[in-house]
Amino acid sequence: MTAPPPPAPCFAVRELSKRFGPVLANQSISLDIHTGRIHALLGENGAGKSTLMSMLAGRARPDSGTILHHGRPVVFASPAQAIALGVGMVYQRLMLVASFTVAENLALHRPDLCVRQAATLVQTLGQRYGLDVPPEARVADLSMGQRQRAEILKLLARDARLLILDEPTAVLTPGESEQLFGILKALAAEDRAIIVITHKLEEVLAHADEISVLRRGRLVATGIAPADVTNRGELARLMVGREVVLSVEAEARAPRPPLGEEVLRLEQACGNGFAGLSLHLHRGEILAAVGVAGNGQERLAACLAGLERFSAGIVTVAGTSMPARDFQPPRRLMACVPEDRHHVGSVGNMTITENYMLTRDHEFIRPAPLLRWLGSLDRRAATAAAAQAIARHQIAAPAPETLAGSLSGGNLQKLILGRELDRHPRVLVVEQPTQGLDVRAARAVWHALLQARAEAGILLVTGDLKEALSLADRVAVFFRGQIMDVVSLQHQEGDGLHRIGLLMAGAAA
Ligand SMILES: Nc1ncnc2c1ncn2[C@@H]1O[C@H](COP(=O)(O)OP(=O)(O)O)[C@@H](O)[C@H]1O
Ligand SMILES: [Mg+2]
């Protein structure tokens, strides 16, 4: 018997490579895309998914390799050229103009239409595909789900034949995600090709027609049919790699400091996106909060950083309990390294010194002789402290006067983490601390976190399982706003990873 010949791909990439400085983001990747199918591109943070897709969408130029459109090589010098061939991408950071209405945004991309015609198009396309968005609403007033639908409408307004969505469900509720996949199925049924980037195993298995897996810039599997996946754990392992647990840094394996007193406790904490969370953290340990994006772990970190409010529960910091609703992170006890190091963690057009003082300015206030609160900033002391910090944390920067915005990602992160560690917190909350960093900078951050355990309890919110498994003593797995389980990593080898992968996918192991 002969198998039916495989359908010819509408788009294909051949040996595509892309390097960012020291990081080989894509290594010789070859992949076929077929019309009529939802192709899931799976991989953990930093695997190279967005890079690969932005080359296909004309936003990034490959260093080498070829993109084929119906077998013919094409070169995209800009997104416009990709769009002309029917490739549209919804980026992770949505690209709508927030102060414009949906119809105005659409008109920007269809200059042949006036706003009124664009509004009509929003309605017709919306009805046809179940993409319900009010055309006259300002984007700023829309939910994330609605904004995303507006982005998809933008692509459909130009009749995109290949729609690429970068982690579209990361910002959606489970109900909205289901709805989105329904829409994508309808689009695929019209002979369009769909690529969905995600790291949610469950939705991949439920909705994709085929699966490809990227790991550290390499394509480790492609053409997997969900029906052939008998074991979710296998898929998780493909994503994360067998070497994960074996590559634990020697330092992390070295004897851990003795567990100290409890520094943080949550009881039945609720907030926007999570409910009934209970956990405890002791000095001397790293507790990792992992989960696919949007399962509550980021919102918990935001509450602990004081950026969002808890709605119920009890928080205890270093022995002092308070109703979670009233919680404000006590400055002397808690510190936070936020995920967005450029906008939340630092101010780019301020100097290193000024950034170093951001969370610790009170230490550099020189009291005025009569009115204590009219103190002035002791600039010289601040500059000296910043210079010491540059040396201590090995930040590659010419001087304390250097603008933070000119630092590389790794050095900026060292500055932010160093600043927070120098405050000697009892509780340190760090979010995605090595995202986007090269290996050397990531190592420096890991080293600093392992050292910091001696003084603090660390809550590490990370999408990088390798990081969690390498550093943490315990791993709390988040799924749909709840902690599925807390897995202790001591004496665990491969099993821990397997179990965490299952829990992340929502399967009770
Ligand atoms: N514009 C960029 N500049 C420097 N490094 C980048 C850039 N874009 C991506 N990278 C790096 O390339 C690697 C792959 O990133 P990315 O494609 O965003 O991964 P994913 O989408 O799978 O999370 C990461 O190490 C990331 O830090
Ligand atoms: Mg990405």
Verify whether ligand 1 is closer than 6 Å to residue 435 (CB atom): no
Q: Backbone phi, then psi, for 221, in 5-degree steps? A: -160, 150
Q: What is the mean pLDDT of residues 278-301?
A: 92
Lowest mean pLDDT among 2-16, 237-251, 378-392: 237-251
Lowest mean pLDDT among 85-94, 153-162, 459-468: 459-468
If one compares 496 and 195, the residue with the highest pLDDT of the two is: 195
The per-residue pLDDT for 369 is: 60
Distance CA(191)–CA(34), nearest Å, equals: 9
The per-residue pLDDT for 142 is: 83
Confidence check: pLDDT of 1 > 50: no
Whose C-alpha lies nearest to ligand 1, atom 18? Answer: 50
The per-residue pLDDT for 368 is: 62
Q: What is the mean pLDDT of residues 28-53?
A: 93
Question: Which band of pLDDT confidence, cut at 50, 70 and 90, is reported for residue 3?
Answer: low
The per-residue pLDDT for 245 is: 38
Whose C-alpha lies nearest to ligand 1, atom 4? Answer: 20
Whose C-alpha lies nearest to ligand 1, atom 8? Answer: 51
Q: What is the mean pLDDT of residues 232-261?
A: 66
Q: Which ligand is in closest contact with the Cα of 43?
A: 1
Contact 71, 8 (CB under 8 A): yes
DSSP strand E in 283-424: where?
286-290, 310-317, 320-323, 334-337, 365-366, 376-377
Question: Which band of pLDDT confidence, cut at 50, 70 and 90, is reported for residue 250?
Answer: low
Verify whether ligand 1 is closer than 6 Å to residue 233 (CB atom): no
Distant-in-sequence, close-in-space partners of 231: CB < 8 Å, separation ≥ 6: none
The per-residue pLDDT for 8 is: 87
Q: Backbone phi, then psi, for 255, in 5-degree steps? A: -50, 135
Verify whether ligand 1 is closer than 6 Å to residue 436 (CB atom): yes
Give the distance (Å) from ligand 2 centre to CA of residue 151: 17
Question: Which band of pLDDT confidence, cut at 50, 70 and 90, is reported for residue 174?
Answer: low
Which residue in 449, 456, 455 sits closest to 418, CA to CA?
Answer: 449
Residue boundaries of the structural domains of the chain:
11-245, 249-333+426-509, 347-424
Distant-in-sequence, close-in-space partners of 220: CB < 8 Å, separation ≥ 6: 213, 214, 238, 241
Give the distance (Å) from ligand 2 centre to CA of residue 492: 30
Specify the ligand 1 atom closest to the Cα of 437.
Answer: 27
Q: Which ligand is in closest contact with the Cα of 25?
A: 1
Which one of 18, 19, 23 would you pick to mutate in the ligand 1 pocket, going by the greatest count of ligand atoms within 8 A of its CB? 23
The per-residue pLDDT for 506 is: 75
Q: What is the mean pLDDT of residues 28-51?
A: 93
Verify whether ligand 1 is closer than 6 Å to residue 413 (CB atom): no
What is the CB neighbour count within 10 angstroms for residue 294?
A: 22
The fold for domain 11-245 equals: Rossmann fold (3.40.50)
The per-residue pLDDT for 188 is: 96
What is the CB neighbour count within 10 angstroms for residue 27?
A: 17
The per-residue pLDDT for 491 is: 57
Q: What is the DSSP letter of 47?
A: S
If one compares 369 and 118, the residue with the highest pLDDT of the two is: 118
Percent of the chain with pLDDT over 70: 90
CATH architecture type of domain 249-333+426-509:
3-Layer(aba) Sandwich (3.40)
Contact 419, 359 (CB under 8 A): yes
Confidence check: pLDDT of 210 > 90: yes
Confidence check: pLDDT of 508 > 70: no
The per-residue pLDDT for 209 is: 96
Q: Which residues pair with 66 in a beta bridge?
A: 14
What is the CB neighbour count within 10 angstroms for residue 377?
A: 13
- HEC sequence for 310-340: EEEEEEEECCEEEEHHHCCCCCCCEEEECCC
Question: Which band of pLDDT confidence, cut at 50, 70 and 90, is reported for residue 27?
Answer: very high
Q: Which residues pair with 240 in a beta bridge?
A: none
Confidence check: pLDDT of 493 > 60: no
Confidence check: pLDDT of 444 > 60: yes
The per-residue pLDDT for 28 is: 97
Q: What is the mean pLDDT of residues 398-425?
A: 92
Distance CA(475)–CA(72), nearest Å, equals: 48
Distant-in-sequence, close-in-space partners of 259: CB < 8 Å, separation ≥ 6: 282, 283, 284, 285
Lowest mean pLDDT among 234-243, 340-349, 368-377, 441-450: 368-377
Which one of 20, 197, 216, 437 would you pick to mutate in the ligand 1 pocket, going by the greatest count of ligand atoms within 8 A of its CB? 20
Verify whether ligand 1 is closer than 6 Å to residue 43 (CB atom): yes
| Same fold? 11-245, 249-333+426-509 | yes
Whats the size of the chain, residue-wise?
A: 509
The model's pTM: 0.61
Lowest mean pLDDT among 160-174, 213-227, 384-398, 452-466: 160-174
Distance CA(376)–CA(132), nearest Å, equals: 55
Question: Which band of pLDDT confidence, cut at 50, 70 and 90, is reported for residue 448?
Answer: very high
Q: Which ligand is in closest contact with the Cα of 441?
A: 1
Q: Which ligand is in closest contact with the Cα of 216?
A: 1
The per-residue pLDDT for 455 is: 94
The per-residue pLDDT for 46 is: 78
Q: What is the mean pLDDT of residues 359-375?
A: 66
Q: Return the residue matching tokens 């998809």.
A: 152
Give the distance (Å) from ligand 1 centre to CA of residue 46: 6
Question: Which band of pLDDT confidence, cut at 50, 70 and 90, is reported for residue 243?
Answer: very low
Per residue in 450-492, pLDDT (tens digit) is 999 999 999 999 877 778 888 999 999 998 899 999 998 875 5
Our separate counts of H helices and E strands in the chain read 17, 22
Torsion of CA 451, 455, 461, 466, to 10 degrees: 30
Confidence check: pLDDT of 205 > 80: yes
Give the distance (Å) from ligand 1 centre to CA of residue 381: 38
**Whole-number average pLDDT of the chain:** 88
The per-residue pLDDT for 247 is: 41
Verify whether ligand 1 is closer than 6 Å to residue 170 (CB atom): no
Lowest mean pLDDT among 7-21, 163-177, 277-291: 163-177
Q: What is the mean pLDDT of residues 84-90?
A: 95
